[in-house]
Amino acid sequence: MPHVIRSTLWVLFFGTILFAWWTLYSRAVNMDLDLLGRPGAMGQAMADMDPRMFADVPMARFWSLFGMWAVMMAAMMLPTMVPTLTTYEHLMESADGTRAGWMGVLLGYFIVWVAFAGLIAGVQVSLLFGGVINMLGVAPLWFSAVLLIVVGVYQFSHAKEVCHGVCHAPMTYFLGHWRTGFGGGLHMGLRLGAYCVGCCWGYMALGFVGGVMSLAWMGLATLLMIFEKLPDIGHHVIKPTGVVLIAAGFGLFFI
């Protein structure tokens, strides 16, 4: 029976990821966007709309964007949780971890990322009604350049190093902060989620460079975050990525 429960939960976990990606793809199609987030005729008409037309319904716009970002969190961040969840499973065999604790870790982690979805949706609404980005979430070149440079520089920061250290070595975190049961798993998941946000927020923010509905950006960002958490190569990915982002940012100033 434990093996049946384990298999069922993992199927539901990966099923949620696939459903989230399908939802994002369907939304992009409905918005007349290609995989790179480039609009067709209908999508361009949406991009050219004046946000002031919706000035009387900013909260409605916020909730719509919040839902989109929450789905993006499931699609992009849940795959990066696989090493953490498998590490917890090892402790179910060697320590007193439980399946309820495993679920608590997952829930806590996702709660934090959903909260971040609310934050970045609020940022998008502010940028939209401030005239910085268009209705598709695409920023002008100067803003994109600054954002690329800021995120690139962050790759070299102490905050990135600390947060990545926790995300990269979940076993070390579990051994130092171990709590039992669902409540213990939830507590650890919330803290792990906070470290993960500190590690990966920049990749999410880069959605404004090419458009937040660019499936190509979502896929690339997901792969980068997964690579950063791989035991053998994670530490070797961060700074080269920072160099590329900074170079791309400065490159935009000359376009």
Confidence of residue 145 (pLDDT cuts 50, 70, 90): very high
Residues 193 and 110: beta-carbon distance below 8 Å: yes
Residue 201 has pLDDT above 80, yes or no: yes
Residue 85 has pLDDT above 80, yes or no: yes
Does residue 39 sit in helix, strand or coil? strand
What is the Cα–Cα distance from 201 to 206, expressed in whole angstroms?
9
- Supply the pLDDT for residue 56: 54
What is the Cα–Cα distance from 205 to 209, expressed in whole angstroms?
8
Could you list the beta-strand ranges (E) of 91-200. none
Residue 133 has pLDDT above 60, yes or no: yes
What is the Cα–Cα distance from 117 to 139, expressed in whole angstroms?
19
Q: Report the amino acid identity of residue 52.
A: R
- Supply the pLDDT for residue 236: 87
Mean pLDDT on 86-93: 87
Residue 163 has pLDDT above 90, yes or no: yes
What are the C-alpha distances in Å from 18 to residues 12, 71, 84? 10, 11, 19
What is the Cα–Cα distance from 156 to 98, expressed in whole angstroms?
37
Mean pLDDT on 141-170: 93
- Supply the pLDDT for residue 13: 95
H or E element at residue 149:
helix 141-154
What is the Cα–Cα distance from 171 to 154, expressed in whole angstroms?
25
Q: Could you state, in order of their start, the residue ranges of all structural domains in the chain?
A: 2-252
- Supply the pLDDT for residue 232: 78
What is the Cα–Cα distance from 148 to 127, expressed in whole angstroms?
17
- Supply the pLDDT for residue 76: 93
Residue 53 has pLDDT above 90, yes or no: no
- Supply the pLDDT for residue 102: 94
Confidence of residue 107 (pLDDT cuts 50, 70, 90): very high
Higher per-residue pLDDT: 15 or 54: 15
